[in-house]
Structure 1
Amino acid sequence: MVRAEEIMVKDVAVVHPDDVVTDVVGLFVERNVTSAVVVDEKNTVKGIITDGDIMAAVRRRRPLVVDFFNFIWAAGDEVDLAVKAEALSTMKVKDLMTKQVITVGEDTEILEIARLMAEHKIKQIPVVRGNFLVGLVRRYDIVKAVAWQVNRLQNDTE
């Protein structure tokens, strides 16, 4: 069986809980990734931050509620992207990250990883040795492993 250690990415994008979100955005663009594992100074997994977390912060609406003589009126947050992007420059990773992270060990089989991803509707799972980050399995890594297996089977039947 194929295991996490055989398909995981070892060069994982990592950030720290007190990093600002705009730095994470820059990291995503620079590394062409959509997530970063949040670790402490000992490389212990503390969370994960994804492009989805950042998108949710950008599109988050804060309605303004006004009471005109007991008539409640709510106005939407019509702030433009530049203002929202500026707000990200003061926001910390720990304010947006997912804290309850599903992790797997290096010996976890690929089918179990795929099941966890489907069940929890997630796109990547950090791989740990103890509590320490050693890699990341993305959906793409699983698809690539499946493609390799299919190709191998086709070559065996020819």
Structure 2
Amino acid sequence: MLVKDIMGCNVRSVKADTSLLEVVSLMCLYRISGLPVVDDEGKLVGIIAEKDVLARMFPSLEDLMAVEGGLASVDMDEMMGRYKEVVRLKVSDLMTKGAISTTPDTHILRAASVMARHKFRRIPVTDGGYLVGVVSMGDVHKAIFKVNIAEAVAAVHVV
């Protein structure tokens, strides 16, 4: 079974010059953990994820070294307040450039192995560099489940 057989084709994406406020609003409103970043032609140029946004608020090594007591002494509420500054940035300031993707003609287990190796839950699907869909671990699991359960049910009814 190939990625094109199970991928979602209605994919939300953003451009590198999109404001993070717009992106985090989409993420929170639609419960999206990450969005592909495309150029004006629709070619995949990166990914912006919740972890990219939230990591910007984490204390840096310099912050930890400057505070006596290290991490235990860092004011986490103050760090949370950095969010207002972070959302003023653009996607290009935080996105992961050169995102890993798969193609529509990739076997679903190969796509799943790439996701597992890189600890992704979903991966963009590109054709000639253009974003054409997205496939998730859940999509792969459901497809395998359906194929195997259908075979098991058919075998039971034959007996």
Length-normalised TM-score, structure 1: 0.84
Taking the aligned partners of 2:59 and 2:43, their CA distance within structure 1 comes to 33
Select the structure that is richer in strand: 1
* Cα deviation, residue 80, structure 1: 4.6
Q: Does the 8 A contact of 2:15 with 2:37 survive in 1?
A: yes
In structure 1, the residue matched to 2:104 is 106
In structure 2, the residue matched to 1:30 is 29
* Cα deviation, residue 12, structure 1: 0.9
Corresponding position: 1:16 with 2:15: yes
Over the aligned positions, Cα root-mean-square deviation in angstroms equals 1.8
Q: Deviations over 1:77-126 (max 9, x none)?
A: 52152x22211222221121111311111111101101111222222111
Taking the aligned partners of 1:8 and 1:45, their CA distance within structure 2 comes to 16
Taking the aligned partners of 1:51 and 1:35, their CA distance within structure 2 comes to 6
Question: After TM superposition, which residue ranges in structure 1, 4 or more long, deviate above 4 angstroms?
Answer: none
Taking the aligned partners of 2:74 and 2:94, their CA distance within structure 1 comes to 19
Q: Does the 8 A contact of 2:59 with 2:79 survive in 1?
A: no
In structure 2, the residue matched to 1:54 is 53
- Report the secondary structure of 1:133's partner residue: strand
Aligned-pair identity (%)? 30
* Cα deviation, residue 64, structure 1: 4.5
In structure 2, the residue matched to 1:74 is 66
Taking the aligned partners of 2:15 and 2:136, their CA distance within structure 1 comes to 20
Partner letter of residue 103 of structure 1? S
Corresponding position: 1:42 with 2:41: yes
Taking the aligned partners of 2:149 and 2:23, their CA distance within structure 1 comes to 37
- Report the secondary structure of 1:104's partner residue: coil
* Cα deviation, residue 42, structure 1: 0.6
Unmatched 5+ residue regions in structure 2? Answer: 68-72
Aligned length: 148
